[in-house]
């Protein structure tokens, strides 16, 4: 599949290919005739920009200008379901750029696309397989029904991966402006480089799934530890359920009374998910009897709800695990903001070592999240 698609793209052909969001129309982004064929198929208005896929940050830097103040944002969000708008170096067809000389670029967390682009040794277009102005497609059949026979003849290869998950097209973020600006909202949207915005439980789950998928790209050599803070009902358990569903676990419930549950996982490299709820812990001494240290080994994933209370075991978690802080808070009645911090950011934000939390005043009745 990859080899044949790569051959067609290098020859100036147009390929219909699956992505992490929807089916896309791929051509060599440096081949002007191939880009013109793509625009003819989509019926794209002149001057309307088309984004491109790149395989890694090296290729990204070859086609767009990256300022120091945007590098951290790119590193935090990519790979993922985001299109980043940056100033073009004009090494791809100008037909793909905006009228102001910017270019949308994507590094998807989706092996088939990144392997294909890497095989081509050049960027390829990342536009959705649809007629301009029409909805994107999740099956090849629905796309082919939409286009005429004349347009079908413009297609050189179709790679059919069946029905794709119903994800929205990528979130488009403009990084050329003084502040991060979201131009189009996808399944995952952001406020800034470390703050995601959720308007519904399904979005909270998708944020959690995006995050664990991004962590696994680096093949962690330590257990992964999520420390999740937030008020009652804000969505901590929903976040953990999102992680569980990524690994095929559909029966996660909050272990309020037993402190933690174990879930076996068949999806490598994670072998076991340990879901810990510290809500009912009233004394720091209680950690001695939980035996959580036995789970701190490579291949395990630990999620702590009520992470405000991990102070007594924080040093152990930091030493033995790869720790990620998640702080969920109400933004307004219908949305939450989800901050993602690593250990260094968390400690810097607090400006002091993490201390045992105050266990008093935690006897409120727990609501379902």
Mean pLDDT of the chain: 90
Q: Is 293 helix (H, G, I), strand (E, B) or coil?
A: helix
Question: Model pTM?
Answer: 0.86
Task: Give the pLDDT confidence score for residue 123 in this predicted structure.
Answer: 98
Q: Which CATH superfamily is domain 2-184 in?
A: DHBP synthase (3.90.870.10)
Locate all alpha helices (DSSP H) within the chain, ordered by sequence.
Answer: 2-10, 32-42, 57-63, 68-77, 111-120, 140-146, 149-152, 201-217, 236-246, 314-320, 343-350
In the predicted structure, residue 353 carries a pLDDT above the cut 50: no
pLDDT tens, residue by residue, 193-218: 889 999 999 999 999 999 999 999 88
Distances (CA, A) of 225 to 258, 266, 310, 369: 19, 19, 11, 20
What distance in Å separates the CA atoms of residue 231 and residue 369, rounded to the nearest whole number?
10
Task: Give the pLDDT confidence score for residue 303 in this predicted structure.
Answer: 98
pLDDT tens, residue by residue, 106-120: 999 999 999 999 999
Task: Give the pLDDT confidence score for residue 237 in this predicted structure.
Answer: 96
Query: Which residue has better confidence, 357 or 106?
Result: 106
Asked whether this chain's domains 2-184 and 194-350 adopt the same fold, the reply is: no
In the predicted structure, residue 351 carries a pLDDT above the cut 60: no
Query: Which residue has better confidence, 173 or 255?
Result: 173
Give CATH for domain 194-350.
3.40.50.300
What distance in Å separates the CA atoms of residue 172 and residue 185, rounded to the nearest whole number?
7
Task: Give the pLDDT confidence score for residue 98 in this predicted structure.
Answer: 94
The residues spanned by each domain of the chain are 2-184, 194-350
Q: Which two tokens stand for residue 235?
A: 């969505």
What distance in Å separates the CA atoms of residue 126 and residue 166, rounded to the nearest whole number?
17
pLDDT tens, residue by residue, 9-47: 999 999 999 999 999 999 999 999 999 999 999 998 877
């Amino acid at each position: 599949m990859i080899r044949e698609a790569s051959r067609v793209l290098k020859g100036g052909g147009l390929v219909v290919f699956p992505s992490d969001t929807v089916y896309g129309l791929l051509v060599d982004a440096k081949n002007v005739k191939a880009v013109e064929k793509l625009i003819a198929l989509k019926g794209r208005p002149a001057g309307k920009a088309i984004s491109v896929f790149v395989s890694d940050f090296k290729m990204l830097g070859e086609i767009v200008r990256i300022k120091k103040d945007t590098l951290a944002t790119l590193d935090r969000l990519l790979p993922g379901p985001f299109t980043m708008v940056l100033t073009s170096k004009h090494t791809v067809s100008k037909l793909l750029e905006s009228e102001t000389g910017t270019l949308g670029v994507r590094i998807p967390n989706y092996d088939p696309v990144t392997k294909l682009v890497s095989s081509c040794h050049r960027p390829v277009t990342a536009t959705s397989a649809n007629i301009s102005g029409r909805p994107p497609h999740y099956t090849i059949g629905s796309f082919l029904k939409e286009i005429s026979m004349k347009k079908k003849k413009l297609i050189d290869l179709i790679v059919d991966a069946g029905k794709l998950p119903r994800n929205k097209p990528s979130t488009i973020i403009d990084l050329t402006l003084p502040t991060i600006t979201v131009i189009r909202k996808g399944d995952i949207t952001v406020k800034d480089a470390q703050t995601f915005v959720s308007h519904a439980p399904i979005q909270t789950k998708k944020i959690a799934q995006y995050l664990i998928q991004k962590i696994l790209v680096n093949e962690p050599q330590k257990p992964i530890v999520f420390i999740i803070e937030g008020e009652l009902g804000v969505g901590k358990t929903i976040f953990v359920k999102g992680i569980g569903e990524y690994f095929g676990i559909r029966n996660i419930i909050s272990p309020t009374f037993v402190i933690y549950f174990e879930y076996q996982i068949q999806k490598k490299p994670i072998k076991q998910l340990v879901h810990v709820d510290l809500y009912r812990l009233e004394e720091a001494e209680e950690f001695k009897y939980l035996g959580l240290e036995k789970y701190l080994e490579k291949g395990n994933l630990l999620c702590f709800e009520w992470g405000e209370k991990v102070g007594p075991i924080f040093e152990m978690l930091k030493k033995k695990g790869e720790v990620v802080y998640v702080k969920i808070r109400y933004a307004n009645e219908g949305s939450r903001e989800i901050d993602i911090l690593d250990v260094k950011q968390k400690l810097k934000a607090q400006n002091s070592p993490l201390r045992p939390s105050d266990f008093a005043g935690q006897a409120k009745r727990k609501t379902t999240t």
